[in-house]
Amino acid sequence: MDLDFGALPFLVEGLKLTLIITLVGVFFGSIIGSILGLMKISRFKLIKALSIVFVEIVRGTPLLAQIFFIHFGIPGLLGMRFDPLYTGIFVIAINSGAYIAEIVRGGVQSIDRGQMEAGRSLGLTGIQTMRHIIWPQAVKVMIPPFGNQFIISLKDTSLLSSIAVGELMYQSRMYTGNTFSYFDTFLLVCLFYLAITIPATILLRYTERRLERS
């Protein structure tokens, strides 16, 4: 059986956009997640409650529902229109941010409380202790689950084809709609995803082993 590689140029373009959305989305998601994660361990009840509510809403609703709500629901209410690409980046940032918040919370809370007391005994403020003592140790704990979240967000971008974002899945659907070459095209799509996720998983496991030794 001869495979049809005519979809390759379209899929390569889609893959580029998939990577851009993932990298930019997870970058902003990391910022959002770090803020939310620290809010969740705050002593101020209102700040902690706001973070918990946001994280639970995002984690408790399907990503596809979030995509439709943000891309169609909010613009429909405001009488405006969102660019699908910006919607995609925003949704990936918000969604990954909610999960990264739990990673940050768990990472910080895994560090012995005595570390904070030791920092304060040295004359450091709470913020300085967090920055120079707690955070560097917590980052080592957070790296493996953060890597897993990156891979999950990468695969989640496939749902953005539902709002016509020209990522990998959208390009494959457009190509097969004209050529009906379903088997060959979607086989290539799977191989493209595997070409990214397998090396990322190997790198992640290698990083975990290095961190265990350090």
| Sole residue written with tokens 């961190």 | 211
State the pLDDT at residue 191: 95
- Residues 6 or more apart in contact with residue 84 via CB below 8 angstroms: 71, 160, 163, 164, 165
Q: What angle do CA 40, 113, 142 make, to 5 degrees?
A: 55
- Residues 6 or more apart in contact with residue 5 via CB below 8 angstroms: 184, 188
Q: Reduced to 3 states, what is the DSSP secondary structure of residue 4?
A: coil
- Among the ranges given (65-69, 131-135, 175-179), the one the predictor scored with the smallest mean pLDDT: 131-135
Indicate if the pLDDT at residue 185 is higher than 70: yes
pLDDT band at 2 (very low <50, low <70, confident <90, very high): low
Type of residue at 126: G
If 0-12 CB within 10 Å is exposed, 13-18 middle and 19+ buried, where does residue 191 land?
exposed
State the pLDDT at residue 102: 95
Q: Give 10-41 pLDDT, tens digit per residue.
A: 999 999 999 999 999 999 999 999 999 999 99
| Of 8 and 127, more confident | 8
Q: Are 159 and 63 in contact (CB under 8 A)?
A: yes
Q: In 3D, which of 169, 33, 44 has the Cα closest to residue 105?
A: 33
- Residues 6 or more apart in contact with residue 176 via CB below 8 angstroms: 7, 182, 185, 186
Q: Which whole number is the average pLDDT over 133-160?
A: 91
Q: Which whole number is the average pLDDT over 156-181?
A: 94
% of the chain with per-residue pLDDT over 70: 98
Q: Give 190-210 pLDDT, tens digit per residue.
A: 999 999 999 999 998 888 888
Going along the chain from its start, the domains and CATH numbers come out as: 8-213 (1.10.3720.10)
**Residue 2 tokens, joined:** 């001869």
Q: Are 109 and 38 in contact (CB under 8 A)?
A: no
Q: Give 76-116 pLDDT, tens digit per residue.
A: 999 899 999 999 999 999 999 999 999 999 998 888 877 77
31-58 as b/e: b if 16+ CB within 10 A: ebbbebbbbbeeeeeeeeeebeebbeeb
Average pLDDT of the chain, as a whole number: 91
Round to whole Å and give the CA distance between 56 and 54.
Answer: 6
What is the maximal distance between C-alpha atoms in the chain?
72
pLDDT band at 117 (very low <50, low <70, confident <90, very high): confident
Indicate if the pLDDT at residue 122 is higher than 90: no
